[in-house]
Every structure is written in C-alpha cells, then in structure tokens.
Amino acid sequence: MFDIGFSEIVVIGVVALIVIGPERLPKTARMLGHLFGRLQRYVSEVKSDISREMELDELRRLQREVKGVATDLQQSMTSVASEVRTSARDIENQLNAGAGQVADVLPAGETAGASPPVASGAAAPEGSAESSRQTSLPGFDKL
C-alpha cells in the first residue's frame, strides 16, 4: 500500500513517543491497530461487493442472450410449422384435384383401381368394395 521502510517507521515511533508520551502510547497504538483492521475489513468488503456485482451483471447479460436465442428459436419453429402446414394443405389439394380428374376420366360406375364390372347375379370378389369419392384425405382434415 504505502512504501514505508523500517527507518521511517522508527522515526514515526520516536516522534509519537515524544508527542504522545510513554503512558498513552500503548493505548494509542492499540486504537490505531483497531482502526487499521477496520479499514482493511471495509476495503475487503467493498472489493467483494464489486466482484459480486460484476458477476451479477455477467449473469444478467448471459440471461438476456439466452432469452434472445430462445425467442429466435421459437419464431423460427413457428414459421417452419406454418410452412409445413401450408405445404400439407397444398399437397392435400393437389391430391384431391388429381382424384377428381381421375374420377371424371373413368366411365360411370368404375372407380380407380377397381376390377372390371362383374356380371349381374355373380358375387363380387372379396376386397373390391365400391367406395364413393372422398372430398378430403383422412387425417388432413385436422390441419
């Protein structure tokens, strides 16, 4: 802290002995020691408070950065989800339009992928059930 050598301390002690006197010098030295200790404790408390505040500022800055990244991630995920929903609707519309075109091209009474018409009175082969044209694909109505 201060650059005081041994010779300066001796000079200060001799002057203090002459000015204060030999009776009050021990009390005064003790009081100066207590004041010096208090000063050191105060300085160390201030240093620890400053370092604690610096750490809190660092944590607040880090928290702001993490919140910013989380917000950006949430926005990007929301935009990707909406794009996927839009793409799924477009694909559904294209599939429905394609199914409508196929139904328009086929002769009446036939469905795409069905076997040729069976003669009247004969039993239809198993697994070939006539189905009406669906307006939307199953599972896409929830999007």
How is the chain split into domains, by residue range? 6-95
- Higher per-residue pLDDT: 99 or 79: 79
What share of the chain in percent tops pLDDT 90? 46
User: Could you tell me the two tokens for 47?
Assistant: 């240093």
Answer for the pair 92, 136: CB distance below 8 angstroms, yes or no: yes
Across 91-101, average pLDDT:
87
Rounded Cα gap, residues 113 and 130, in angstroms = 10
Assess whether pLDDT exceeds 80 at residue 131: no
Specify the 3-state DSSP secondary structure of 106.
coil
Lowest mean pLDDT among 26-35, 63-72, 82-91, 98-107: 98-107
In angstroms, the Cα distances linking 114 to 21, 39, 103, 129, 131 are 124, 98, 12, 8, 10
Which residues lie below 8 Å from residue 130, measured CB to CB, with a gap of 6+?
111, 114
